[in-house]
Structure 1
Amino acid sequence: MKTMMMLFPEIAADILSRLPVKSLKRFRCVSKSWCKEIDSPYFINTHLKRSSQAHTHLSLILRDTTKLCTVDLDSPDFTSIELKSNPLKSDHCATEVMGSCNGLLALLNSDFRIALYNPSTREKKMIPVSPLELPNDLDDSKVSSLFNFYGFGHDPVNEDYKVVRFIHFYGDSPDGFFHCEVKVYSLKSNSWKRIDDYPYDLRFILPPDYHPRCRRGYGVFANSAVHWKATVVGKGKENGSDLILAFDLGAEEFKIIPQPDYSSNEHEMNVGVLGGCLCVFCNRNCEQVEIWVMKEYGVKESWTQLCTVIAKLQVKEFWLHARPLAYSKGGDKILLELDNRFLVWYDLRRRKSKIIKIRGAPPIFIAEISVGSLVTLNGGGEGQTSGKDTQEKRKTRKKRAGNSWFRMQTWKTMDMERMDGDLYLLFSDTGPQELNVSFLGNIVFRAL
């Protein structure tokens, strides 16, 4: 017998905003109104914010020598599945993930072949190639090689997505490096532009470490800026010291981020992101890693030491370097990548680790975190509407909720179950059914 219920539009939208993209793609087929609602910028933004805040709908993107794979962290069994819709898939070279932001991946498989890709919706866009522009005072005959560094993120000021490209020219000069070319690609304009105010007394990792180094110096995105570890060149006592270089995507300006007061300078520092906050992780003498999180962006005093992971005590396998990737749903654990070979959940309270066994994972990999989202590549934007549009939408919803009910045709059965005095809506895969969901007094509707 069919379950007959009635449902307010707000409750339906609230439930839908908690579901994974895979389910939402099916629910777009319910009706034209549902398709319009799910495709709206307001809903896309609500879904993204809810997933980001709750640490849900997260996936691991694993890269080996020839392919990209995805692992659903919400799944009870961790299985690696190849991303066959990878726009840069090649049998001859690896596709690298230079950045991940709001469910979009920035990919490249050569120095200049770049694509933006949403693995949840399979939408993709090839980025036009931008030619090299050598500095005016640089003789190209003296350039022996060049090194590329990239970053990717969201510009909330202009509702745009941008790729930052650094090119360090290496050759016949006192320290081996020449000036650097910096260009920024805008998804909204689909074009590149040159940035001229790069601080030329900074450089990224040294050439001997360039190719074997994890992630090859790709920037990490947090607080509307892309961040890299950089090294000071030719400033007396500061020569060779590390710092955090940031590029603000809205203002398109460089800045230096203050670092925490480390307990010791004997470490290898690098930058990352945890829960949307900038973090640094310091690997010390292959014995332990310290992880710091910047609670208030740009404020030195807000650096908080999250944990110290002791190598010998945590995992039986020997490892040299650890990199934090993400928080668990409850926020009580962090996901660590060890030496591009292992993934572990580290319990912050109990100070214990557990290795994650992933079926079909390559023996050596580089991992990135991606959140499932409906963000599109049709000109940028995080999925926000203007204040006026949002107010009009709310007025329409309020009026509609007060005068009418909501009917839906779904591809899943929705059932009801009482738990702790609340009424829960449960989804199952038993087939199509028409649902009229009624709002019953003070009963609370929640999506599991």
Structure 2
Amino acid sequence: MEKDKKESKNNMLPLEVMREISLRLPINQLTDRIWKNVTSDRSFAKTHYERSLAPTHRYIFIPQYTNLHVSLDLDALSQDIDADASAATITKIPPCPPLKDKTKGPDDNYSIILGSCRGFIALYIHPDSFVIWNPLTGSYRTISCNHIADFTDIPAIYTFSGDILFGFGYDAIRDDYLVILFWNHKETRQGHFDFFSLRSNSWSSFEDDVAIPDHLQRRKNRASMLFYNGAIHWLSHVGNATGTIIVFDASQRIFSEIPVPEEAARKCMDGNLRELGGCLAFYYEKDNVDGGLGTSVTIWVMREYNVHSSWTSYEIPTGYFEPFWLSENGDFIGFDDFPGMATYNVNGELLFRFDRSLHRYSCATCAVYTESLLSLPNDGSEEEEGSSSGVKDS
């Protein structure tokens, strides 16, 4: 009875007032059915994502040799300074539906996290599909890429080789999400630049109207991807030549480049891109120049976007460190060469380590994402969610 009275009282609030209150709440407080009429509005989901005063961030990863999906609340994690922080406890989340096929063997039924964009996770599903998935809402779309002749030649590893470049981003002008593939034909070595539009539900080609940088076509190594500041970024390296960050504006459909610092240009071949503290960043292992044993990890953070002089470097004195978050205190949080997670300050000093139970997991692929209620184009229309055919335009 009291519950009914409480709901009745809240339902007396004008819908517009409920909407304005909801826009200021974190997503984890929007699950009550009192707000159902507000949060189910597609325009609300977009406004909440863009204007939320308290966005929630999570770190998702798939432990090696499993299809288990694990996530961490990064906001809670970065605010807790206790070495036995309960916030570091892992949360298991159901995998996206395409991974539930139990008829396949373990070598043929695995996924790779490739990146994130606006609350959606991009997954590669072996052998020839992608899935765009919102872990919060459970909505997803499956995309076939079997039109690429030598795509299935990719070995069962947890990253792509230099022959195939993957991108995932949002086109704000067309309100569309794009899955991008740049690939070289195995025999002719001709480069192809294709994209899948989730709005049109089909593959097309950029080759006729986009000038593809020579650096992109000549690269041999894998290229770490990040959707940031409205554009897809790749950390690319060509043989012994200098590295660079290739930028593709998903809305304007143009390429540009951001030079990496000179001292990092020949060392970032195996580097990875990250967004740290709201800034573009990358990191790589570095040989110990002081003559000591082991290596260190160098983290470069671009404090002001596309301003070369704002690159700032930090050294973490450990042989392995995968930073994935920069706390409000300015400390790096990530996995190091000990079980669990660790926090280092900007001077490279180890502050503390988190929950030892994480030693059970060997992180294979991962992404940081901002939770959202957003849905993909055409979700809820006559196109059945998860049924994309991925047929390429002729």
TM-score normalised by the chain length of structure 2: 0.72
2:46 corresponds to: 45
After superposition, the C-alpha distances for 1:300-332 in whole angstroms (9 at most, x for unaligned) are 233333x32222xxxxxxx33x3321233x353
How many residues get paired? Answer: 335
Amino acid of the residue matched to residue 291 of structure 1? Answer: I
1:296 aligns with one of 274, 284, 304: 304
What SS does the corresponding residue of 1:88 show, helix, strand or coil?
Answer: helix
| Shift of residue 14, structure 1, vs aligned partner | 5.0
CA gap 1:351/1:376 in 2 versus in 1, 3 angstroms: same
Distance 2:338 2:278 in 1: 22
1:70 corresponds to: 70
CA gap 1:252/1:165 in 2 versus in 1, 3 angstroms: same
| Shift of residue 161, structure 1, vs aligned partner | 1.1
CA gap 1:96/1:270 in 2 versus in 1, 3 angstroms: closer
What SS does the corresponding residue of 2:212 show, helix, strand or coil?
Answer: coil
1:190 aligns with 2:231: no
What SS does the corresponding residue of 1:284 show, helix, strand or coil?
Answer: strand
1:112 corresponds to: 128
Greater Cα offset, 152-161 or 8-17: 8-17
CA gap 1:378/1:267 in 2 versus in 1, 3 angstroms: closer
1:357 corresponds to: 355
After superposition, the C-alpha distances for 1:16-41 in whole angstroms (9 at most, x for unaligned) are 3354545423x2x32xxx43321334
2:213 aligns with one of 194, 199, 208: 199
Matched ranges for 1:254-403 at <5 A = 254-262=255-263, 269-285=271-287, 287-305=295-313, 307-311=314-318, 319-320=319-320, 322-328=321-327, 330-338=328-336, 342-348=340-346, 351-357=349-355, 359=357, 361-379=360-378
Matched ranges for 1:6-17 at <5 A = 12-17=18-23
After superposition, the C-alpha distances for 1:339-375 in whole angstroms (9 at most, x for unaligned) are 6975323334784343332646523433321222101
1:240 corresponds to: 241
After superposition, the C-alpha distances for 1:366-393 in whole angstroms (9 at most, x for unaligned) are 332122210101349xxxxxxxxxxxxx
CA gap 1:124/1:231 in 2 versus in 1, 3 angstroms: same
| Shift of residue 171, structure 1, vs aligned partner | 5.9
Q: Are the counterparts in 1 of residues 165 and 183 from structure 2 also a CA contact under 8 Å? A: yes
Q: Are the counterparts in 1 of residues 111 and 125 from structure 2 also a CA contact under 8 Å? A: yes
2:94 corresponds to: 83
Return the index of the structure with the highest Cα Rg. Answer: 1
CA gap 1:50/1:304 in 2 versus in 1, 3 angstroms: farther
Identity among equivalent positions (%) equals: 27
What SS does the corresponding residue of 2:37 show, helix, strand or coil?
Answer: helix
What SS does the corresponding residue of 2:36 show, helix, strand or coil?
Answer: helix
Amino acid of the residue matched to residue 138 of structure 2? Answer: R
CA gap 1:249/1:266 in 2 versus in 1, 3 angstroms: closer
CA gap 1:7/1:82 in 2 versus in 1, 3 angstroms: closer
Amino acid of the residue matched to residue 262 of structure 1? Answer: E
After superposition, the C-alpha distances for 1:104-155 in whole angstroms (9 at most, x for unaligned) are 0111122521111101000111124361379xxxxxxxxxx98322111212
Q: Are the counterparts in 1 of residues 341 and 354 from structure 2 also a CA contact under 8 Å? A: yes
Distance 1:294 1:165 in 2: 27
Greater Cα offset, 282-291 or 368-377: 282-291
After superposition, the C-alpha distances for 1:166-208 in whole angstroms (9 at most, x for unaligned) are 2234569xxxxx23222111111111111223234544444xx
Q: Are the counterparts in 1 of residues 246 and 257 from structure 2 also a CA contact under 8 Å? A: yes
- Unpaired runs of 5+ residues, structure 1, are 135-144, 173-177, 207-215, 234-238, 312-318, 381-448
CA RMSD of aligned residues (A): 3.5
1:98 aligns with one of 102, 109, 114: 114
Distance 1:340 1:198 in 2: 42
After superposition, the C-alpha distances for 1:259-316 in whole angstroms (9 at most, x for unaligned) are 23437955654422224432122321153222222233323233333x32222xxxxx
Amino acid of the residue matched to residue 83 of structure 1? Answer: P
Amino acid of the residue matched to residue 200 of structure 2? Answer: S
1:228 aligns with 2:234: yes
